[in-house]
């Protein structure tokens, strides 16, 4: 789709030439035997950078979340998350299917939970109640438009959760975007969760791969669950080599994507009938309700004019900036958008 300006997602990013070189030259071994030196190095660096004792390379963010939830729960328990969480809407009910847990949601305007709202959803101990064992937070929050937690808020959730015997899992698919926006190291966020998943693909550009990090005992169990799910890979240092570059260098340039998102938000927001969510990280929700048009129709017309943007509801489109989209591409996308809605 390279002839298009692709704002559908940061999952579309392609590996950089440096990644491709590193992949070609990667030292590899059988990772199920833990003999792949590149994977071992990636897991060690990932743990250091995110500030956890252990880390596991998994093929996808979805598998990382699935296992993260599994290691923190038992069948028949409840998991609290925001009502638009990725684990709820986009991961094929794996919390139910694999962990046997019920998801109990909290409605929020911005995807961001706080202790006050969480505690009202915790099931009191009693003969009719399934225990709440986990709180899941998404940082940044995808479907709320790239919103982020404050460390203070997360710290309160984490501390109060632990006082109540409840664990916290962070879906940090885009934790480095959140950290860039907050001007903090990602480990400050990760310190407020028992386990954290983050993606090396998406905005960091690796072709595949995510990390699940946490305490050594949880990660040792996670390794078995990864195998159960068919995620025990062999000479996968080929992918980990790209992951190392994602982690060490691509995290440093996310500010550019955020600046492009701010540009898009400002420019699209000036078009008649268009309202855009605040540009906090790299994800925008573009509401076209007042144009009288429908999002799927606008998405199709944009595509015909060379711009890809998915609809995310009847009158909302999602625009995601990433390193395969330049400022010039964003300028062009705004012009096309203006023409299309007129």
- Does position 329 bind ligand TLP by CB under 6 A? no
Q: How many residues bind ligand TLP (CB under 6 A)?
A: 15
Q: Which of 9, 77, 251, 312 binds ligand TLP (CB under 6 A)?
A: 9
Which of 16, 38, 62, 73 is the binder for ligand TLP (CB under 6 A)? 62
Those residues whose C-beta lies under 8 Å from the C-beta of residue 273, and which sit 6 or more positions away, are 288, 289, 290, 291, 292, 341
Our CB check for ligand TLP shows the closer of 147 and 201 to be: 201
Q: Candidates 16, 73, 77, 142: give the one binding ligand TLP (CB under 6 A).
A: 142
Contact 137, 175 (CB under 8 A): no
Three-class SS state of 296? helix
Binding of residue 60 to ligand TLP (CB under 6 A): yes
Q: Which of 70, 86, 226, 258 binds ligand TLP (CB under 6 A)?
A: 86
179-191 as b/e, with b when 16 or more CB fall inside 10 Å? bbbbeeebbebbb
Return the residue matching tokens 């939830």. Answer: 69
Choose, by CB under 6 A, the member of 67, 173, 186, 193 that binds ligand TLP. Answer: 173
Burial of residue 272 (CB within 10 Å: 0-12, 13-18, 19+) is exposed
Task: Establish if 97 lies at the interface with ligand TLP (CB under 6 A).
Answer: no
Q: Are 277 and 145 in contact (CB under 8 A)?
A: yes
CA dihedral 325, 331, 336, 341 (to 10 degrees): 110
- Return all residues near 239 (Cβ < 8 A) that are at least 6 apart: 23, 57, 206, 207, 208, 209, 233
Interface region with ligand TLP, contact rule CB under 6 A, candidates 59-67, 93-101, 124-132, 258-266: 59-67
In the complex, which residue's CB is closest to ligand TLP?
A: 61
Among 90, 129, 253, 335, binds ligand TLP (CB under 6 A): 90
Of residues 299 through 318, those in contact with ligand TLP by CB under 6 A are: none
Considering only the stretches 56-64, 122-130, 176-184, 287-295, report the one whose residues sit in contact with ligand TLP under the rule CB under 6 A.
56-64
Among residues 98, 99, 62, the alpha carbon closest in space to that of 212 is found at 62
CA distance 236 to 37: 10
Shortest Å, Cβ 298 to ligand TLP: 18
Length of the chain: 342
Closest to ligand TLP by CB, 9 or 16: 9
Single out the residue of 56, 81, 186, 199 in contact with ligand TLP (rule: CB under 6 A): 199
> What minimum distance in Å lies between the beta carbon of 141 and ligand TLP?
7
Q: How far is the CB of 5 from ligand TLP (least distance, A)?
A: 16
Q: How many Å apart are CA 174 and CA 341, to the nearest integer?
A: 31
Q: Which stretch, 36-44, 57-65, 126-134, 294-302, contacts ligand TLP (CB under 6 A)?
A: 57-65
- Residue 148, C-beta contacts closer than 8 angstroms, at least 6 positions apart: 112, 139, 140, 141, 177, 178, 181, 182, 280, 281
Nearer to ligand TLP, 38 or 210 (CB): 210
Shortest separation between residue 86's beta carbon and ligand TLP, angstroms: 4
- The residues that touch ligand TLP, with contacts defined as CB under 6 A, are 9, 11, 60-62, 65, 86, 90, 138, 142, 171, 173, 199, 201, 210
């Amino acid at each position: 789709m390279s002839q298009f300006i692709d704002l559908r997602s940061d999952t579309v990013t392609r590996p950089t030439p440096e990644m491709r070189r590193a992949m070609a030259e990667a030292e590899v071994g059988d990772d199920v035997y833990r003999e792949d030196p590149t994977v071992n190095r990636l897991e060690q660096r990932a743990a250091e950078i995110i500030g956890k004792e252990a880390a596991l390379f998994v093929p996808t963010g979805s598998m990382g979340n699935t296992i993260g939830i599994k290691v923190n729960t038992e069948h028949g328990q409840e998991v609290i998350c925001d009502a638009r969480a990725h684990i709820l809407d986009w991961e094929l009910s794996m919390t139910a299917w694999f962990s046997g847990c019920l998801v109990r949601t909290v409605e929020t305007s911005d995807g961001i939970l706080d202790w006050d709202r969480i505690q009202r959803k915790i099931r009191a101990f009693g003969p009719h109640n399934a225990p709440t064992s986990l709180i899941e937070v998404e940082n940044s929050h995808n479907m709320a438009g790239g919103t982020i937690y404050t460390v203070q808020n997360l710290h309160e959730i984490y501390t109060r959760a632990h006082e109540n015997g409840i664990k916290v899992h962070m879906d940090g698919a885009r934790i480095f975007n959140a950290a860039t926006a907050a001007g903090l190291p990602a480990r400050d966020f990760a310190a407020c969760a028992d386990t954290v998943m983050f993606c090396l693909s998406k905005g960091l550009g690796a072709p595949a791969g995510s990390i699940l990090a946490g305490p050594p005992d949880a990660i040792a169990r996670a390794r078995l669950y990864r195998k159960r799910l068919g995620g025990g890979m062999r000479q996968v240092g080929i992918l980990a080599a790209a992951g190392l570059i994602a982690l060490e260098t691509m995290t440093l340039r996310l500010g550019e994507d955020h600046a492009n998102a701010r540009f898009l938000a400002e420019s699209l927001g000036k078009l008649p009938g268009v309202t855009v969510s605040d540009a906090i990280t790299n994800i925008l929700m573009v509401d076209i309700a007042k144009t009288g048009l429908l999002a799927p129709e606008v998405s199709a017309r944009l595509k015909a004019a060379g711009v890809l943007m998915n609809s995310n509801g009847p009158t909302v489109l999602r625009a995601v900036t990433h390193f395969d989209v330049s400022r010039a591409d964003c300028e062009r996308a705004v012009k096309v958008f203006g023409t299309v809605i007129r």
